Structure 1
Amino acid sequence: MTRQIDATAAGHWTLGGDLRVARMGFGAMRLPGDPRAGRLNDRDTALKIVRRAVELGVDHIDTAAFYFHGDLSANELIRAALHPYPDGLVIATKVGPYRGPGDAMPTGELAAGDLRAEVERNLRELGRDQLDLVYLRPGLLEPPGDESIGERFAVLAELRERGLIRHLGVSHVSAAQLAEARRIAPVAAVQNRFDVTMPADTALLDVCTREKIAFVPYFPLGGFGLPDDDRVRRVAARHGATTAQVLLAGLLALSPVMLAIPGTSDPAHLEENIAAAGLRLTDEDLADLSAVG
């Protein structure tokens, strides 16, 4: 009998030097539904997806308290599906953006003085005494800037010293902001927008590879819809794979520090995404993908 491909087929990375995770993880942003489209997910389906992800070897889930739609929130769904949590499960979250109950997307940023309450909100919603990994995410959807993040990152560094957070990360940052954060406290992971058709942060990925900092792209499948590119489709055709699987395998081939966290609200797409952990691309494939964009 052929063994089912699971998340461990992509190998592992050790976050912060002590949290070993499969390089194929799961992003929870879409679990509650799509607030931009006004589409609410079915609660039972969402719970099944989270449980199935863990069954398929996922031990790294990325979430945030501002991932909610209607009466469903990603944090609550994760807790309902998995608590008490299995040994070895790493849950990462992020703080910084402000999103009110009626907002489809975050509309502003929390001040430094508000970050502790947001960390405590994540702890409460997830039912944890300590958060494994917390990213500071400055800015919204505009390109990362070079404004100082030191005051806000220092708040998270203090919470790490107090034991509420195990490891720190930064998201949606420039190289200068990453360097600023690292002068305050160790950074275990960077979460910036990146996919093989939009590799604008290659230089930052090189920094992370050299410094052994995990690089965890958000929107690994292009964000608001799969990229439409003949070269990606050509690689997919060679392997009998889907476009999404090629995009994920292409990411994982770029660096050993690359971790993938594709998200979905569809059980079939979950299976498809996880199976990409076993897809091995050739040099020809990678050359094709490097020309995409």
Structure 2
Amino acid sequence: MEEGATETPEELLAKQHRKEKKDLQAKIQSLKNAVPKNDKKRRKQLTEDIAKLEAELNQKHEEELKQLKSPADTKVGEMINGVEAMTVEGGDQQEVKQPRVTKAQKRRDKKAAQEKERESRIAEAEVQNLLGERHQEGLKLAQKLAQRQLQIREISSDGHCMYRAVEDQLVQRAVPGLTLVLKELRSRTAEYMRNHADDFVPFLTNPNTGDMYTADEFEKYCSDVEHTAAWGGQLELRALTHVLQLPIEVIQADSPTIKIGEEYDSEPITLVYMLHAYGLGEHYNSVERLKDPANEEDS
């Protein structure tokens, strides 16, 4: 007789539950290792995700135990053993007529199957998130910034992110006369571009024709910069370096840092450019001094 052949359904289920708990702890440790300790926001989200995974596994185990203890349910024992036949005295295999499955039991079985499928999808999504472009980009940026004792300072993704990131940098500096709010930054950027059209028009083309912008098209572009949530890029950053008379550097995950306005001899404004942020595509964040994880936990 093979080892374990005499184990009861209860013992087999307990063994299965121990293995699932061990597998979950291994997965949790992997998730913890993938998130930098100084990333307070993502560590908080991770703690919530871990609690949810543990609660779901406990609920699943409780449901399976209830099903095993139910007199009307013999299916759980059969699923664990992987056979439809039961051993009778003398070692012969005989088919045993199964009791009629009630509607209530069918509903429980269906619910359990749906829950198992949902947990499988969650686990698969977690793996994809860890391997995904957004997560990998975040890790690379965190490493680059940590070398300079910096970390990302999150900026809302509302179309104004570049200007809000610049605004945040100016607030952190607290330089008299340089604390400009979003509306002022957009207005002065558009004004500079209008007054120096020859420096910007050659880099703007009609997406339908490929031709360089006409005067009317350029004015429409500048109007959008000033009055809408039009996304900002390198042209607007170039204008801002002259408006502020400060250099601007943009840190990226997979490319060298872009430096604009190096003719100004001052400490640069530092932005972070993310290509895969929030599933929305391109996004700018600000930066701040790297915080001590120990102090973060105490605060």
TM-score, normalization: structure 2? Answer: 0.22
Higher fraction of helix: 2
TM-score (norm 1): 0.23
Larger Rg: 2
User: Greater relative contact order: 1 or 2 (C-alpha under 8 angstroms, separation 6 or more)?
Assistant: 1
